[in-house]
Structure 1
Amino acid sequence: MLFNDDSQHHKPHIHVYYNEYEASIGIDGELLAGSIPVKQLKLVQAWLAIHEDEAYAAWNKAVRGVPFDKIEPLR
């Protein structure tokens, strides 16, 4: 999770890398920037829905410079 680029996106988000694609996706599932195939976007959105509370908690720690725990990947 990258948190120090809030000049680009002012809402909590994650950066996703898939092959040659890069995207910024809000924790609410909104595609903010970049592009990613629809299938992978849906997987990321499903992961975010499952881990929404953890993602927001990690974001809140990260913006305060506090280390945060890794969140379980989608399997």
Structure 2
Amino acid sequence: MSTQLLTYTFKSLDQQPAVWGLATSGLRYQFVYLRHEQQPTYQLMPLLSLNQSPDAIEFLQVFKAICKLPNFQ
């Protein structure tokens, strides 16, 4: 997981209470979710690979669910 991703998403917490981030190599994807609380916290989602059919389906389901969240832009 890239510290660069955490840095960019952490800076976005100034403008909103929670942020989703995505790190990818093109075939492998990993979502990260950051929340602004007393002390900001983050949660790494499982690594998903588009080379494996079940992971590809799960990736699309996760992405679809994120797009349905309120305040998603």
TM-score by length of 1: 0.28
Compare the two structures and name the one with the higher strand fraction.
2
TM-score by length of 2: 0.28
Q: Which has the higher contact order (CA 8 A, sep 6+)?
A: 1
From the CA coordinates, give the structure whose radius of gyration is larger. 2
